[in-house]
Structure 1
Amino acid sequence: MSLILWILLSFVNQSAVQQEAEVVLPSVPCLEQYDEAEASYKKIEIAFTSGEAPLAGQLYLPVSDGPHPLVVLLPGGGNNVEYLRNTPNFFAPRFAHCSLAALTFDKRGTGESGGDYATSTFDDFINDAGAAIRKMAARPDIDADQIGVVGFSQGGRLAPIVAVRSPQVAFVASVSGPLTSVEDTRYFALENAFRRSQVSDSVLARVMPLWRQHLDFVAADDLVSLQRLDQVLAEMSNKVHPALLPPQSDRLPQTGIYNSMGLDFSTELAHLRVPWLSLYGEMDAVVPVQKSLDILHERMATGQHNNYSVIVVPGVSHSFVHPETHESVPFERFVFDWILKQVEEVGGKSLNKTH
């Protein structure tokens, strides 16, 4: 299977040269021949703490003798535990089948993990990942020199910051991870969601400026301005459907996104010093891909860090699905291929083989 990919091919004088090229999906035998019914790996329940929050997860281990390289998997946004577990639980046993250990854990305040999701912030999630990494690095069956982080969507935003703040991290991969501010990402996703719902341009012209004000005030933690906006929203609710309007000041969502609205981690990216893969779908309606890429290249240039790779798959969504045909691209092949190469470069042996 071949695709036309926009792929970062080379670096010249600390500047990325982006070209369009036809590239065959990488062959990853250990992944392609994975059979859930016949797969063999060990799964261990894991408990650790981050601050005062007791967190719970599962460690997937290869059946071979360790110590093993480890991948820590960070989920997307929200607190729907079944949805959050879906992608990490797809990746983890496949990593174990490919001779890497993999850790999944429930986000604080969800599933088996304690803590309060309603008051959590992205900084909390970053700290939680750091605590997980320290816990794993102390295990004799884990190679503490080969611990990586892979994040999906919201986790993709946080993964490189985890790598900046946690010295044990040796490599990082982000899948559909926004690099724009939390506020700008939210605005972008909302506008696209309204357009997909066929909200007219005339209605958007009324509601989107109100959303911008609302998000600005939330980011600034400006309750007085939010309360003043309530009257405007009440009046506008007689002209457009209330579901299109921001919430009133006394009904703000209690989510990690809202609690983190004022955060912008992009400046920290300049301190990244480990290999980094960023993977995007060109037609992503949740993440501002081009703006994220602009930030990525700028921050890597600022930090004089050239060991990073970018792949943009054209014509596919946030989840790497073609909107019209609903055909999905097996994006996991890019992630596995890149990570196995990082591990093999350090470990000196091929893991990408038939099991």
Structure 2
Amino acid sequence: MKQQFLILAFLLTVFFINAQNIIGSWKGEIEFSGQKLTLIFNLTGSPDNLKATMDSPMQGAKDIPIQKASFIGKQLNINAENLGITYLGILKDNKIYGKFMQSGLSFDLILTPFDTKNTSVFNRPQTPKPPFDYPMEEVSFVNPNDKNILAGTLILPKDKKNFPIVVLITGSGKQNRDEELFGHKPFAVIADDFAKKGIGTLRLDDRGVGSSSEGNINDTSTNYAEDIGAAVDFLVKKAYKNIGLVGHSEGGMIAPMVAVKNPNVKFIISLAGPGVPINELMYQQNEDILKQMQLPEDIIKKDLSNKKLMFDYLATYNGKNIKSDFDNFLTIKLSGISEQEKKAYLELTMPWMLYFIQYKPSENWSKIKIPVLALNGNLDTQVAAKPNLDAIKTALIKAKNKNFKTKEILGANHLFQTAKTGSPNEYSQIEETFSPKVLDIMSEWILNLK
């Protein structure tokens, strides 16, 4: 859950600059509680009309918009209102010396010029490389409800008939068909592994990514579920019968949404999919990440108290003017927050986010009677394994589902990498894209279905 992570957790971020020599990219590191976070600021335009974006490579965030940027004299001023961030720096000897501030915290940050063309190449040994010894086809089709075009890759096992085939469903945020992050391409790895074992796959670019057409600003998970339903129908038209869904993170939430409406779905694999109400999941996510960052206890306590008030309010909201009502709520209940923080929190009222916060996974899981395999890593700090697997199990028992399995994967993080801590900061540092053990668990389960 990459995009809301930037808003809801303390993203350690930074700034950037421009003037005679200031146009370009600037790189620096923030150090906090023994951890370092690399930040890159990209400055374009001119000194009197400065524009800026921000990258956080370790968190997979690129081209984050900066609302206000100026360079007057030798002073750079950055204001990312959507993240509640300010930065003030002075250009001296081709370096920018400054302070980064967010939510009452202040960090020294020194920026130096950075050539984006000379970035280091990640070592990703699992990424499939041609030539491929199996059929592969570029495909596209239309979602008949929203009329948007979806494009993807269909991979089939070689010399096989009557094989199972799955639609891979990405997590939250706009992602390509490989679910690419930090140079990792987990869906490409899964598709390659499955093809070699006798399982077909269809993986898709999300709306507005790659070759798929743009979506709408008001799109929610319901629209994305319709895309996956259209993908299932596309496979049915191609005469495939044993069709399953494999969803990661929010994709694990979308899978049962599709299956309850589409009888052509024969099985589901949930990879770090939510089981508890999403407002509870988001609170737990914030608590786990903040504690792992070793923030002062008083800051953690205050932040979590504010988050619980906000999440609970939004989860039960049923009015008609959410943005103005939530603005009033923040003014009354969280009177100590800054205007920058308030603007960041108001992003929670966007249609996708509001739908997400109000969603209760059990409402669909409790209707699923087809085979289900639910997997979560015990080091996952974004979708905690035990409470979510327990909730999925409870819902499936309520559905009288007679063929399901839940399993906690020891040593795995949210991306199903073999990890040490599970911190999102590790994602880019780990060379493994997807645990071979988990690949085997999934493929063996699919191939043993009766």
Q: TM-score surpassing 0.5?
A: yes
- Alignment partner of 1:165: what SS? coil
On the 8 A contact 2:249/2:274 being kept in 1, the answer is yes
- Alignment partner of 1:45: what SS? strand
Corresponding position: 1:247 with 2:344: yes
Corresponding residue number in structure 2 for 1:339: 446
Deviation at 1:201, TM superposition (A): 1.6
Deviation at 1:181, TM superposition (A): 1.7
For 1:231-310, list aligned pairs within 5 A.
231=331, 233=334, 235-237=336-338, 247-249=344-346, 251-252=347-348, 254=350, 256-310=352-406
On the 8 A contact 2:177/2:203 being kept in 1, the answer is no
On the 8 A contact 1:58/1:103 being kept in 2, the answer is yes
Change (3 A) 1:166 1:126: same
On the 8 A contact 1:180/1:295 being kept in 2, the answer is yes
In structure 2, distance between residues paired with 1:199 and 1:253: 27
Q: Tell me which protein shows more helix as a share of its residues.
A: 1
Deviation at 1:101, TM superposition (A): 1.8
On the 8 A contact 2:152/2:177 being kept in 1, the answer is no
On the 8 A contact 2:175/2:209 being kept in 1, the answer is yes
In structure 1, distance between residues paired with 2:287 and 2:217: 25
Change (3 A) 1:236 1:35: closer
What percentage of residue pairs aligned between the two structures are identical? 24
Corresponding residue number in structure 2 for 1:17: none
Change (3 A) 1:341 1:117: farther
On the 8 A contact 2:376/2:389 being kept in 1, the answer is no
On the 8 A contact 2:167/2:244 being kept in 1, the answer is yes
CA-to-aligned-CA distance 1:270-312 (integer Å, 9 cap, x gap): 2211111111112221113222233222222222212101111
Corresponding residue number in structure 1 for 2:279: 183
Amino acid at match of 1:185: L
Deviation at 1:137, TM superposition (A): 0.7
Change (3 A) 1:80 1:253: farther
Corresponding residue number in structure 2 for 1:158: 254
On the 8 A contact 1:164/1:273 being kept in 2, the answer is no
Q: How many positions carry a matched residue from both structures?
A: 303
Corresponding residue number in structure 1 for 2:327: 227
- Alignment partner of 2:289: what SS? helix
On the 8 A contact 1:60/1:96 being kept in 2, the answer is yes
Corresponding residue number in structure 2 for 1:56: 151
CA-to-aligned-CA distance 1:183-228 (integer Å, 9 cap, x gap): 2222221222222222222112212121122223333264344112
In structure 1, distance between residues paired with 2:308 and 2:141: 39
Corresponding residue number in structure 1 for 2:268: 172
Corresponding position: 1:46 with 2:139: yes
Change (3 A) 1:36 1:72: same
Corresponding residue number in structure 2 for 1:95: 194
For 1:62-73, list aligned pairs within 5 A.
62-64=157-159, 66-73=161-168
Amino acid at match of 2:155: Y
Change (3 A) 1:109 1:180: farther
On the 8 A contact 1:280/1:289 being kept in 2, the answer is yes
Deviation at 1:341, TM superposition (A): 1.4
In structure 1, distance between residues paired with 2:279 and 2:209: 24
In structure 1, distance between residues paired with 2:343 and 2:247: 29
On the 8 A contact 2:177/2:206 being kept in 1, the answer is no
On the 8 A contact 1:117/1:256 being kept in 2, the answer is no
Unaligned runs of 5+ in 1: 1-32, 346-355
In structure 2, distance between residues paired with 1:324 and 1:294: 22
On the 8 A contact 2:177/2:205 being kept in 1, the answer is no
In structure 2, distance between residues paired with 1:104 and 1:295: 28
Change (3 A) 1:49 1:117: same
On the 8 A contact 1:160/1:173 being kept in 2, the answer is no
Instruction: Please say which structure displays the higher CA radius of gyration.
Output: 2
Deviation at 1:102, TM superposition (A): 0.8
Amino acid at match of 2:337: M
In structure 1, distance between residues paired with 2:275 and 2:150: 27
Deviates more, 1:289-298 or 1:60-69: 60-69
Corresponding position: 1:136 with 2:235: yes
CA-to-aligned-CA distance 1:214-256 (integer Å, 9 cap, x gap): 2233332643441124436563349xxx67x78243x447574
Corresponding position: 1:206 with 2:302: yes
What TM-score does the superposition give when structure 1 sets the normalisation length?
0.76
RMSD of aligned Cα (Å): 2.8
- Alignment partner of 1:235: what SS? coil
Amino acid at match of 2:443: F
